[in-house]
Amino acid sequence: MSADIVAPKPSWADEVGEEFDPLPLETFTDENGIKTVVEYKTNDDGKKVKVTRKIKKTLITERVNKAVAERKKWTKFGEERGKKVGPDLSTTSIGEQIFLKLSSNFKNAETTDDNIVNKGKLKKILCRICKGDHFTTKCPYKDTLQPLDELNTTVPDASKDSAPAAEPAQPDTTSGKYIPPSLRAGNKGTGSDSFKERKDDATIRVTNLSEDTTEGDIHDLFRRFGSISRVYLARDRETNVCKGFAFVSFQIRDDASRALQAINGYGYDNLILRVEWAKSSS
């Protein structure tokens, strides 16, 4: 009677050792100098896979200035004494490399800019043609628009062209009747109403203004034509941005007339302005 021989059960330590045994690794180099590494791994699904890597070494030769190469051989001193070659990030900060692009006439450009700054006459760059934030020579409207400084000399005086208005009839002061002072010498109504009428009579309305326009810009635009008594720039209550129109009151109507003729249709801040007589509030 033969006895059955039972194979001994392997221990768990042997199973773990077989599981973590390194798989064979193959390495060889061909005639072109390309190194090939073949290894076997176990993926996440528990299957063995073959991984092939090819490595090619390239020798790059870089030319360095002799003085730079000589400085690299200097021994470090101070806090860097005894440390490895090259910059240490703990004591050395490396910035980005900046490339300078210089033109042939950069010296003349720097001289022009320095002269403008030294004069101190210009708080900002302002074009004389369209009042934009660029130089007059670079204005896109320099061939189509007339400089604002020349408008005051080219607009004819309205007082010379228009015939003098007929004087109002003088009231009879020899009849012995009492005449109020406001009606004497051709006055109409009260003094306050007369002043308001004169002020509205010399007020013009400017439209199509940009959102960046300020009251100072309006003053600079119209003060060359005469004395300005008041400037009102309409603004949004919430954003404080210009609504696109303004009112300019002059002391003399003839000045307002010349400003209307000169600025109406003029290009300002890339927009074409429209100027008209303001309508009376009454």
pLDDT in tens, 75-108: 888 888 888 888 887 777 777 777 777 666 655 6
Q: What was the pLDDT predicted at 116?
A: 56
Contact of 167 with 188, CB cutoff 8 Å: no
Q: What was the pLDDT predicted at 203?
A: 92
- Provide the token pair at 119: 């004069």
Residue pointed to by tokens 């290894």: 39
Q: Write the DSSP symbol of residue 108.
A: H
Mean pLDDT of the chain: 75
> Does the pLDDT of residue 162 top 50, yes or no?
no
Residue pointed to by tokens 């009102």: 232
Q: What was the pLDDT predicted at 21?
A: 56
Q: What was the pLDDT predicted at 1?
A: 47
Q: What mean pLDDT is predicted for residues 11-24?
A: 58
**Distance of alpha carbon 239 from alpha carbon 243, whole angstroms:** 10
- Among residues 206, 177, 211, 181, the alpha carbon closest in space to that of 194 is found at 181
The domains of the chain, with CATH numbers, are 25-55 (no CATH), 150-162+188-277 (3.30.70.330)
Q: What was the pLDDT predicted at 231?
A: 92
Contact of 130 with 267, CB cutoff 8 Å: yes
- Among residues 218, 198, 196, 204, the alpha carbon closest in space to that of 277 is found at 204
DSSP string, 51-81: EEEEEE---------HHHHHHHTSPP-GGGT
- Segment 55-80, tens digit of pLDDT: 988 888 888 899 988 988 888 888 88
The 10 Å CB-count burial string (b at 16+, else e) for 217-238 is bbeebbeebbebeebebebeee
